[in-house]
Amino acid sequence: MPIKNDFDNPDEYWAWHKKNGYSSFINVNGTMTGLGSSIVRSAVREATLAAMGRFVKIHDLQSHASEVISRLTGADAGCITASASAGITLSVAGCMTGIDPARVEALPLDPGERSEVSIQLGHLCNYGAPISTAIELTGARVHPFGQSTLATGYQFDSTLSAQTVAALYVVSHHVVHYGQIPFAQFVEIAHAKDVPVIVDAASEYDVRGFIADGADIVIYSGHKFMGGPTAGIIAGRRDFVRAAYLQNIGIGRGMKIGKESIAGTIATMEQWMERDHVAIRKEETTALDLWKRALAGIPGVTVAIVSDPTGNPLERLQVNINSAEAGANAASFARALGKRDPAIIVRDHEVELGYFQLDPCNLGPEHAELVADALANVLSNGSEIRPLTEDLAMERNSGVDSYLNWLSVKI
């Protein structure tokens, strides 16, 4: 796998885990915080290293970042923060305070008169934490409208008042995918009442469309599809970006980003603009084909190549399990794959629907082949997996349980 993840020697990849006693696993789940997000390519790793050994003025680095963000997204300006989640908080806070340092220091206890954020109910998602928390950290109140599966223009319009400070639009597989207000209409309604539109596009490959279509601020993750160090990228109108950046003297302090990650994120954005996206897509398709062949003819197992729900240019292999024929359910198979050495961590957040998915975006050297072997082995031996009735519930709660178990029980 030389193109996207450039380790010369496959053994080097695991040597570090072994030396430190970390679990060895292959990530076919996705860019997940709990799994270390992304593999960062050597050019980007070198950029972080160069910054680590030097003093540099953070405002210089952030000005450079702003230029690169403009080139990348077409926005006026931009800045880097600790994460996309921090980017949401800082952007909302910036809309509340403008360029007024006294207002910045007053947050979160004195949010002011204009401190409501409108969001359609189907967008109030959880990406590891509730998105409402990212808004409320500023002192703002969330003003949801519509029902989970239906939000209309008139409902949105009627929530916009003198108290509304911003409207948040979320683009994600985490949100409801139908019955939501289309982006163009959302912008039109908000702008008619002079309400700025903030877009959470943390995991979206389209780094230009939302700005082009009228967003005032758009937020991306540096460490997801772009393959950078942990960071949030804020892009948008100069006045809003400046106001978001000013939060570093207030609530943003706890979300600060260091020189190494700003330098690394600049390099990440530059390599994203130069990346051979077609070659990477081809590499990902080769992995999907390999896994498809490995699963062919196994009783109770059918596969389908599925597109990303938000239209990102990537596909995943969906593995559908007929548990009566396969001998175990999808959750039990996911768990069994996760117990191998190296563990295979599949995309299992819809496992209750009878399938899991394999994401080809985060493979290290020879990982695709190891996944193919594991799939063929585990799925053709379903009757040997003792189907645990609690597997489904365990998979559902695994995110929170992993925090509760930390330093508590050995798992």
Ligand X SMILES: *Cc1c(COP(=O)(O)O)cnc(C)c1O
- 172 part of the interface to ligand X, by CB under 6 A: yes
Which of 221, 265, 329, 362 forms a contact with ligand X (CB under 6 A)?
Answer: 221
- 229 part of the interface to ligand X, by CB under 6 A: no
Which of 10, 33, 191, 370 forms a contact with ligand X (CB under 6 A)?
Answer: 33
Which of 170, 195, 215, 257 forms a contact with ligand X (CB under 6 A)?
Answer: 170
- 176 part of the interface to ligand X, by CB under 6 A: no
* Exposed / middle / buried, residue 183 (Cβ in 10 Å: 0-12, 13-18, 19+): middle
- 310 part of the interface to ligand X, by CB under 6 A: no
Secondary structure E strands in 238-351? 301-307, 315-321, 343-346
- 174 part of the interface to ligand X, by CB under 6 A: yes
- 268 part of the interface to ligand X, by CB under 6 A: no
- 120 part of the interface to ligand X, by CB under 6 A: no
- 308 part of the interface to ligand X, by CB under 6 A: no
For residue 348 the two structure tokens come to: 């299992």
Site string for ligand X, 70-89 (x = CB under 6 A): -------------xxx----
Measured from the CB atom, is 120 or 329 closer to ligand X? 120
Tokens 């080139």 belong to 71
CB atoms under 10 Å from CB of 168, counted, come to 27
Measured from the CB atom, is 35 or 106 closer to ligand X? 35
- 38 part of the interface to ligand X, by CB under 6 A: no
- 123 part of the interface to ligand X, by CB under 6 A: no
Question: What's the CA gap between 197 and 123, in Å, rounded?
Answer: 14
Measured from the CB atom, is 41 or 123 closer to ligand X? 123
Tokens 């877009």 belong to 199
How large is the angle between the packed helices 42-52 and 259-274, nearest 10 degrees?
Answer: 150
Measured from the CB atom, is 312 or 318 closer to ligand X? 312
Q: Are 312 and 204 in contact (CB under 8 A)?
A: yes
* Residue 174 C-beta: closest distance to ligand X, Å: 6
Which of 202, 331, 336, 346 forms a contact with ligand X (CB under 6 A)?
Answer: 202
- 269 part of the interface to ligand X, by CB under 6 A: no
Which of 66, 203, 247, 265 forms a contact with ligand X (CB under 6 A)?
Answer: 203
- 316 part of the interface to ligand X, by CB under 6 A: no
Question: What's the CA gap between 411 and 398, in Å, rounded?
Answer: 12
CA distances from 117 to 135, 241, 391 (A): 8, 18, 38
How many chain residues interact with ligand X (CB under 6 A)? 13
CA torsion 45→46→49→54, rounded to 10°? -140
Residue 235, strand partner residues: 78, 218
- Least Cα distance to 361 among 38, 8, 9 occurs for 38
- 30 part of the interface to ligand X, by CB under 6 A: no
* Residue 88 C-beta: closest distance to ligand X, Å: 7
Measured from the CB atom, is 172 or 323 closer to ligand X? 172
DSSP readout, 194-225? T--EEEE-TT-S-SSHHHHTT-SEEEEESSST
Task: Choose one: 153-161, 184-192, 199-207, 384-392; the region binding ligand X (CB under 6 A).
Answer: 199-207
CA distances from 129 to 142, 217, 399 (A): 15, 21, 10
Binding site for ligand X (CB under 6 A): 33, 83-85, 127, 170, 172, 174, 200, 202-203, 221, 232
